[in-house]
Chains A and B, each alone.
Chain A
Amino acid sequence: EDQVTQSPEALRLQEGESSSLNCSYTVSGLRGLFWYRQDPGKGPEFLFTLYSAGEEKEKERLKATLTKKESFLHITAPKPEDSATYLCAVQAPASGGSYIPTFGRGTSLIVHP
C-alpha cells in the first residue's frame, strides 16, 4: 500500500529562521510528487510538482527537492505569512490505468514575527 509520511507534524519558527519539512514515501512507480499549501478553512493551493530524483523547484522563499525515497520543502527566511499547513502528495498507477494521489497528513507551520 502506498504511504506518505510527513514530518514534523508541527513546526514553530521565528521570522527569518530557515528550516525544512520532510515527506517520505513508499510507492510503486512514482508518477509525480506534489506540494500544496493549505490555509485554515480553505482548499489546498498548488506549489510544486516533482517527477524524478534530483529535480528541484523554487518559488520565492520555498524550494522543493526530490530523492528516490523522500522530498524536502526548504523554507528560507520565512515570514509570518508563510504560516500554513504544507501537504505532500504522491501519485502512482492504480488498476485500470488510472492514477491515484495519496496525501500525507501535513506539517503545520507557524512563523512568529
Chain B
Amino acid sequence: DAGVTQSPTHLIKTRGQHVTLRCSPISGHKSVSWYQQVLGQGPQFIFQYYEKEERGRGNFPDRFSARQFPNYSSELNVNALLLGDSALYLCASSPRDRTYMNTEAFFGQGTRLTVV
C-alpha cells in the first residue's frame, strides 16, 4: 500500500508570493493533518481535517488555510510568504476515529519550502 504522498518535495518561493502544498492520505484514512517543522524543533500543528471539515486549528495566522477534497486529499495554502515560513511542511493521515482524536498518525516525507 502507498503511504502518505506529498508534492512537491522541494520548493523555493519569493517573499510575498503564495504557495500550495498537496497531500494524498493513505487509502481509507479520512483524517488529514498539517504540521510545520522548523529545523531543530518538533512539528507544530497547523490544521486537522476530517470528512472535509476543519476539526482543529493551531496557532497560525490567517495567511495559512487548507481544505480537504471528496477523495480525502488535501491542500495547504500559504499567502504573503515571509522568510519565517521556511520550513518542512508535513502532512499526516490517521485512521477514522469517531472522537476525531489524532490516534496513530502516518506522516509523509514532507515538502521543504524555502522563502527567499
Contacts and interface: CB of A to CB of B under 8 A. Distances in A.
Interface in A1-24: 4
Interface string A78-97: 00000000010101001011
Nearest to A88: B42
B56 A94 contact: yes
A98 B48 contact: yes
A98 B56 contact: yes
A100 B43 CA distance: 12
Interface stretch (B61-69, B78-86, B96-104): B96-104
Given A42-B109, A43-B110, A87-B43, A49 B48 contact: no
B58 A43 contact: no
Interface size range of chain B in the complex: 20 to 34
Contact of A46 (B42, B43, B101, B105): B105
Interface residues of A, number: 27
B98 to A, nearest CB: 12
B90 A43 contact: yes
Given A87-B43, A99-B56, A43 B4 contact: yes
Contacts of B58: 100
Interface string B4-18: 100000000000000
Contacts of B106: 46
A76 interface: no
Interface of A: 4, 31-32, 34, 36, 41-46, 49, 87, 89, 91, 94, 96-106
12 contacts: A31-B101, A34-B104, A36-B107, A43-B107, A43-B110, A87-B42, A89-B42, A91-B102, A98-B100, A100-B56, A102-B45, A105-B40
